[in-house]
Structure 1
Amino acid sequence: MLFWIITAEIAFWIVIFSGLYTRYILKRDKLSIFLLLLTPLIDFALLVLTAIDLKNGATATFAHGLAAIYIGVSIAFGKSMIAWADGKFQTWVLNNPLRKKVLYGKEKAVYEMKMWGRHLIAYIIGGILLGLMILYIGTGEGTRPLQRVISGWTVVLLIDFLISFSYVVFPKRERESL
């Protein structure tokens, strides 16, 4: 199962790089959009492979849970990951560095809480997928690895919330010039 997760991640970045290369180097915008729209198909393929693996009698493992996390994160953060890759492509390949605005105060707090909101969306999607896997497998010892994934991810989500919320309570301030 881990092989399929790694393959999906590699395919995800190959499709994104291909889409950006097609947009900026080949100047084929429609083909570029088509390639970038393939990223959800990679998630769907991973979902199908996970279901097939479990249907064929595989014992649920951390890797099955990781597949659910991967899909949730990919859906919730996909657009921002593509935007990040676009900026890096323009900087590294086109030698056109984009100026990144550094956020402070309320803007930084709002940004961090939005990112936590995306994490929450990823958690909900991944949690639903994990819950469906548990229902599919049934109760018992076989679902223990999936339950541990949910428990661990819950802790990570809460820590992320505390860190994100800390920017509301303790806003990031600009450093004073000397």
Structure 2
Amino acid sequence: MLVALVITCEVGFWVLLAGGLALRYLAGMPRLGAAVLLCEPLLELLLLVATTLDLRNGGEPSWTHGLAALYIGYTVGYGHYTVKWLDRHAAHRFGGGPKPPGPAYGRARAVHEWKLWIRTLAAAAVALALLQAAIWYVGDAAGTAALQGWQFVALRVLAVHAVVAATYTIWPRRAPAVRPGEDEL
């Protein structure tokens, strides 16, 4: 049941996001669109409550609880960023707003990647805290192996993202050369 709820929350996130942006830019109802977008954190709250209740009612800690914790962590770290990023693109495409900035090169891109890593750090910290709270709540060392495994998943994701950010720092991307007579995009 918990896997279905995680999937439902993910689908619900995108439905609310699309609906909120459509209301803002296609239907011309920016306040209602903003209200719909503000409902998105309720999905994560629902998932957190359902996961807690499942463990409280004797549910065996499993990979589904770990997945729920990582999903909640990701939403905390990246949810607002994702909404803002898509809102800028929708404002440009449907609302006559300015074109969002394209990918950066050099030092600016490296700084951007490290800012994203900080979001990943926040996501991992939330997931690790939720998983640790679940481990303490269950209290059975043998029964919490799946949750501990998800803690290592969160740490691996954090480490891999640090390597990615470091590559942009060590080997910065260069802007493509513009040939004479070509217009810049």
Matched, 1:126 2:123: no
Residue identity over aligned pairs, in percent, reads 33
The CA distance in 2 between the partners of 1:85 and 1:121, in whole Å, is: 21
The CA distance in 2 between the partners of 1:140 and 1:128, in whole Å, is: 17
Calculate the aligned-residue CA RMSD, in Å. Answer: 1.9
User: What TM-score do the two structures reach when normalised by structure 1?
Assistant: 0.91
Matched, 1:73 2:66: no
The CA distance in 2 between the partners of 1:61 and 1:99, in whole Å, is: 41
Contact 2:63/2:147 (<8 A) preserved: yes
Q: Where does structure 2 lack aligned partners over 5 or more consecutive residues?
A: 180-185
Question: Is the radius of gyration larger for structure 1 or structure 2?
Answer: 2
Letter in 1 for 2:57: N
Per the alignment, residue 27 of structure 1 pairs with: 28
Per the alignment, residue 174 of structure 2 pairs with: 173
Moved more, 81-90 or 67-76: 81-90
Q: CA deviation at 1:28?
A: 1.5
The CA distance in 1 between the partners of 2:150 and 2:139, in whole Å, is: 16
Q: CA deviation at 1:91?
A: 7.2
Q: Deviations over 1:50-90 (max 9, x none)?
A: 01111121111111111111111111111121123335545
Please state whether the residue corresponding to 1:123 is helix, strand or coil: helix
The CA distance in 2 between the partners of 1:153 and 1:78, in whole Å, is: 17
Letter in 2 for 1:82: V
Contact 2:128/2:154 (<8 A) preserved: no
The CA distance in 1 between the partners of 2:145 and 2:170, in whole Å, is: 37
Q: CA deviation at 1:130?
A: 0.6
Contact 2:66/2:131 (<8 A) preserved: yes
Contact 2:21/2:33 (<8 A) preserved: yes
Q: CA deviation at 1:107?
A: 0.3
The CA distance in 1 between the partners of 2:31 and 2:51, in whole Å, is: 32
Contact 2:135/2:147 (<8 A) preserved: yes
Please state whether the residue corresponding to 2:119 is helix, strand or coil: helix
Per the alignment, residue 148 of structure 1 pairs with: 149
Per the alignment, residue 14 of structure 1 pairs with: 15
Please state whether the residue corresponding to 2:59 is helix, strand or coil: coil
Aligned structure 1 segments of 4 or more residues deviating by more than 3 angstroms: 87-92, 94-100
Per the alignment, residue 136 of structure 2 pairs with: 135
Q: Give the alignment of 1:82-101 within 5 angstroms.
A: 82-87=83-88, 89=90, 94=94, 98-101=99-102
Q: Where does structure 1 lack aligned partners over 5 or more consecutive residues?
A: none
